[in-house]
C-alpha cells in the first residue's frame, strides 16, 4: 500500500467510490486497520480496536450493496469513537484509571444512530481524562501524538479522534466538545471539526463532564464528511432532556450552494491579543478568500468575550464536581484495595482512581459551589455567561457568522504547557464562548505554518444554523487545497 500523507480520506470521494464500486467497504476497512496497525504504536490514537466486528460488518454491507439493497447514509464508512461515548459490551474508559475496566451495558444514542446509518465502528479513541484538557497529556493511558509531527500534541480532549482521522486510520470520528475539544484538535490536525448547537445531538450515553456545555460532534477531512455525519447523528431523543425537538438535519442537501450577500463579523480586538503571527495570517487569508467571493466583512464587538475563560473555568468545574461524584468506588469503577472505614474507602478510591487534573477540577468546582462562595463564583459566572450570549445576539443582528481564530497558536510541543494549568486553560480563549452560548461553531483548516503544522480558522453561527455554517465553510474549502497555503 502506498504511504499516505495526513488527511487523505475525504468522505465525499470515498462515498462516491463505494457507490460506483471502485472501492469495497471491506477493502476500505482493511486499509484503515492497516494504518492503525502501522501507526498506532507511535500515535496512541486508539485505546481499543474492534477489528473482527468491523470486518464482519463491512463484508455484510458489501453483500447488501451487491444485492441492491438500500443502505444507510454512512454505509460502509469506518468511524472512530471517542472513549467517553458508551457502546454496548465495550470498554468506555474516559482515559481514566477510574473506568479502566468499565464495560458499558448500553449504547449511546449516537451509536444507535451510526448503526442505523450502516457505519462501521472501528474502535475507541484516546482523550484527556474525562475530557478535561487540551492535549491528551491527561490521559491515564499515555498521550496521543500529532500525525503531522509526533513531537507535537494532537490537541484535546478529543485528540485520539483527531489523530485517527488525520492519520487516515478512519475517515470519520466522533468527539465531544465542552470547551473546544472538537474544534481545537481539528485545528491542530488539519481537520474539519464541528460543535453543533447545544441540544442538536443527544448526550444520552456520553459520559457527563459539564452537562450544560457538552455536545457530541464530528471530525472529518472534508466539510461534506462532517455534514453527512451530522445528518446521521442529529435529531430529537427523549432520553436527553436537553435534546431539541427537531428532526435530523439534512446538511448535505444544499452544501454547495454559496451564500450570496454573506456578512462576516470579525472581532479585531481579540485577534490582536496574544495570537501567534501564523494564526493571524491564516485567519486573514480566510477573510480575503471570503471577500473575493463577495462577502462583506464587518468589524464587530464582543465586549465580554475576554471573560469567557474565567467564566468557563468556574461553570465547567462546578458541573464536573457534581457529575463526577458518582464515582465513589461502590456503584462502579475503581475501588481501592485497602481501607479501614467507609470514608477511607471513598477517599482512597477517588484519590487513586482520578488523575491530577480531574482532582483539580473537582476541588475548584466544590469550592466554587460551597455555601458562602456560591454567589460570588457560580452565580456570578452564570450572569457573565448570559452577557456573553447577549453580545453574540447583538452581533448576529448585523452578520451571518463570526470569523476568528480557533486557538492562539498552532499545535504545541508535548510538555510545553503541561506543567502550567493556567497557560493550558488560556489556550481555550476562542473556543469556549460557543459552549457558554450554546451556538454552533466549526473549525476549518486553512494552511500550514513554517513548521509544516496545520492552521485553522473558526466560524461561529446563529443557533440552529448549522446549515449556513457548513455552507460558509464549504465556500472556503471549494477554493482549493488548503495544504498548499503557507503562512
Ligand atoms: N480544554 C477544555 C478543558 O480542559 C475543553 C475540554 C473539552 O471541550 N472537553 O476543559
Q: Which atom of ligand 1 is nearest to the CA of 131?
A: 9
Mean pLDDT, the chain, integer: 96
Alpha carbon distance 391, 433 (integer Å): 10
Q: How far is the CA of 368 from the centre of ligand 1 (A)?
A: 18
Region of residue 453 (left: phi > 0; alpha: psi -120 to 50; beta: else): beta
Residue with cell 449516537: 110
Residue 251, helix vs strand vs coil:
coil
Tell me what the mean pLDDT of segment 103-120 comes to: 98
C-beta separation of 213 from 237 below 8 A: no
* Mutational test site, ligand 1, from 96, 181, 198, 314, max ligand atoms within 8 Å of CB: 181
The confidence score (pLDDT) of residue 419 equals 85
Q: Cell numbers at residue 217, please? A: 460532534
Q: Which atom of ligand 1 is nearest to the CA of 428?
A: 1
* Residues sharing a CB contact under 8 Å with residue 173, sequence separation 6 or more, in sequence order: 79, 80, 81, 82, 125, 158, 161, 162, 164, 165, 218, 219, 220
Q: Is the pLDDT of residue 469 over 90?
A: yes
Residue 90, helix vs strand vs coil:
coil
Residue with cell 468575550: 305
Residue 427, helix vs strand vs coil:
coil
Q: How much of the chain is in helix, strand and coil states, percent to nearest 5? A: 40, 15, 45
The confidence score (pLDDT) of residue 270 equals 63
User: Distances in Å between the alpha carbon of 359 and those of 214, 275, 350, 353, 420?
Assistant: 19, 30, 9, 10, 15
Binding-site residues, ligand 1, Cβ < 6 A: 131-134, 157, 177-181, 209, 316, 428
Residue with cell 469556549: 432
Residue-wise pLDDT for 149-180, tens only, equals: 999 999 999 999 999 999 999 999 999 999 99
Tell me what the mean pLDDT of segment 197-223 comes to: 98
> Nearest Cα to 77, choosing from 41, 31, 146, 126?
31
Q: How far is the CA of 440 from the centre of ligand 1 (A)?
A: 16
Percent of the chain with pLDDT over 70: 99
Q: Cell numbers at residue 102, please? A: 468499565
Domains of the chain: 6-262+399-485 (3.90.1300.10)
pLDDT-based confidence at 3, cuts 50/70/90? confident
The confidence score (pLDDT) of residue 4 equals 84
Torsions phi, psi for 117 (to 5 deg)? -85, 5
- Secondary structure element (H or E) that encloses residue 161, with its range: helix 159-166
* Mutational test site, ligand 1, from 94, 316, 407, max ligand atoms within 8 Å of CB: 316
β 441-448/454-461 pair status: antiparallel
Percent of the chain with pLDDT over 90: 95
The confidence score (pLDDT) of residue 274 equals 78
C-beta separation of 399 from 298 below 8 A: yes
β 192-195/215-220 pair status: antiparallel
Q: Is the pLDDT of residue 269 over 70?
A: yes
Catalytic residues: 82, 157, 181
Q: How far is the CA of 84 from the centre of ligand 1 (A)?
A: 13
Q: At what angle are helices 109-116 and 223-233 packed, to 10 degrees?
A: 110
Contacts 24+ apart (CB under 8 A), 321-324: 321/361, 321/362, 321/363, 321/364, 321/365, 321/366, 321/369, 322/365, 322/369, 323/208, 323/209, 323/210, 323/211, 324/130, 324/354, 324/358, 324/362
Residue 188, exposed/middle/buried by CB under 10 A (0-12, 13-18, 19+)?
A: buried
Q: How far is the CA of 347 from the centre of ligand 1 (A)?
A: 25
Q: How far is the CA of 438 from the centre of ligand 1 (A)?
A: 15
Residue-wise pLDDT for 113-136, tens only, equals: 999 999 999 999 999 999 999 999
Residue-wise pLDDT for 48-100, tens only, equals: 999 999 999 999 999 999 999 999 999 999 999 999 999 999 999 999 999 99
Q: Which atom of ligand 1 is nearest to the CA of 210?
A: 9
Average the pLDDT over each of 95-109, 163-177, 346-360, 413-427 and give the range with the smallest value: 413-427
The confidence score (pLDDT) of residue 2 equals 64
pTM: 0.98
User: Distances in Å between the alpha carbon of 176 and those of 209, 215, 226?
Assistant: 10, 6, 14
Q: Which atom of ligand 1 is nearest to the CA of 357?
A: 4
Q: How far is the CA of 66 from the centre of ligand 1 (A)?
A: 44
Q: Which atom of ligand 1 is nearest to the CA of 176?
A: 9
- Secondary structure element (H or E) that encloses residue 423, with its range: helix 421-426
Q: DSSP string covering 58-72, please?
A: HHHHHHHHHTT----
C-beta separation of 221 from 7 below 8 A: yes
Alpha carbon distance 210, 324 (integer Å): 10
SS3 string of 281-345?
HHHHHHHHHHHHCCCEEEECCCCCHHHHHHHHHHHHHHHHHHHHHHCCCCCCCCCCCCCCCHHHH
Tell me what the mean pLDDT of segment 174-194 comes to: 98
* Mutational test site, ligand 1, from 127, 133, 158, 412, max ligand atoms within 8 Å of CB: 133
Amino acid at each position: 500500500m502506498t504511504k499516505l500523507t495526513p488527511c487523505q480520506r475525504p468522505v465525499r470521494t470515498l462515498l462516491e467510490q463505494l457507490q460506483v464500486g471502485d472501492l469495497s467497504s471491506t477493502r476500505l476497512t482493511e486499509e484503515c486497520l492497516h494504518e492503525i496497525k502501522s501507526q498506532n504504536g507511535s500515535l496512541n490514537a486508539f485505546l481499543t480496536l474492534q477489528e473482527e466486528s468491523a470486518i464482519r460488518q463491512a463484508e455484510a454491507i458489501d453483500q447488501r450493496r451487491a444485492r441492491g439493497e438500500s443502505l444507510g447514509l454512512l454505509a460502509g464508512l469506518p468511524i472512530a469513537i471517542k472513549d467517553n461515548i458508551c457502546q454496548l459490551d465495550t470498554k468506555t474508559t474516559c482515559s481514566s484509571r477510574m473506568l479502566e475496566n468499565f464495560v458499558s451495558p448500553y449504547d449511546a444514542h449516537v451509536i444507535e444512530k451510526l448503526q442505523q446509518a450502516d457505519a462501521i465502528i472501528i474502535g475507541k479513541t484516546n482523550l484527556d481524562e474525562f475530557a478535561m484538557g487540551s492535549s491528551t497529556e491527561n490521559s491515564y493511558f499515555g498521550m496521543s501524538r500529532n500525525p503531522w509531527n509526533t513531537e507535537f500534541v494532537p490537541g484535546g480532549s478529543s485528540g485520539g479522534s483527531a489523530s485517527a482521522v488525520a492519520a487516515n486510520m478512519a475517515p470519520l470520528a466522533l468527539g465531544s466538545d465542552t470547551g473546544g475539544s472538537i474544534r481545537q484538535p481539528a485545528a491542530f490536525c488539519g481537520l474539519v471539526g464541528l460543535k453543533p448547537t447545544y441540544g442538536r445531538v443527544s448526550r444520552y450515553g456520553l459520559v457527563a463532564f459539564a452537562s450544560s456545555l457538552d455536545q457530541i460532534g464530528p471530525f472529518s477531512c472534508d466539510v461534506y464528511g462532517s455534514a453527512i455525519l451530522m445528518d446521521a447523528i442529529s435529531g430529537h431523543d427523549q432520553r436527553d432532556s436537553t435534546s431539541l425537538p427537531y428532526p435530523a438535519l439534512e446538511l448535505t442537501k444544499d452544501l454547495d450552494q454559496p451564500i450570496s450577500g454573506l456578512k462576516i463579523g470579525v472581532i479585531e480586538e481579540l485577534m490582536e491579543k496574544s495570537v501567534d503571527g501564523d494564526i493571524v495570517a491564516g485567519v486573514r487569508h480566510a477573510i480575503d478568500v471570503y471577500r473575493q467571493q463577495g462577502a462583506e466583512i464587518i468589524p464587530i464587538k464582543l465586549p465580554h468575550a475576554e471573560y469567557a475563560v474565567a467564566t468557563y473555568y468556574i461553570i465547567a468545574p462546578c458541573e464536573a464536581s457534581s457529575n463526577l461524584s458518582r464515582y465513589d468506588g461502590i456503584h462502579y469503577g475503581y475501588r481501592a484495595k485497602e481501607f479501614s472505614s467507609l470514608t477511607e474507602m471513598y477517599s482512597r478510591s477517588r484519590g487513586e482512581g482520578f488523575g491530577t487534573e480531574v482532582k483539580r477540577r473537582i476541588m475548584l468546582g466544590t469550592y466554587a459551589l460551597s455555601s458562602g462562595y456560591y454567589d460570588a463564583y457560580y452565580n456570578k459566572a452564570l450572569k457573565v455567561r448570559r452577557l456573553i450570549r447577549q453580545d453574540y445576539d447583538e452581533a448576529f443582528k448585523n452578520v451571518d457568522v463570526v470569523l476568528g481564530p480557533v486557538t492562539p497558536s498552532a499545535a504545541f510541543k508535548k510538555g510545553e504547557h503541561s506543567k502550567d494549568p493556567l497557560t493550558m486553560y488560556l489556550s481555550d480563549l476562542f473556543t469556549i464562548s460557543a459552549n457558554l452560548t450554546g451556538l454552533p461553531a466549526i473549525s476549518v483548516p486553512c494552511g500550514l505554518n513554517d513548521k509544516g503544522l496545520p492552521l485553522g480558522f473558526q466560524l461561529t453561527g446563529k443557533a440552529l444554523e448549522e446549515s449556513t455554517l457548513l455552507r460558509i465553510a464549504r465556500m472556503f474549502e471549494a477554493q482549493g487545497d488548503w495544504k498548499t497555503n503557507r503562512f
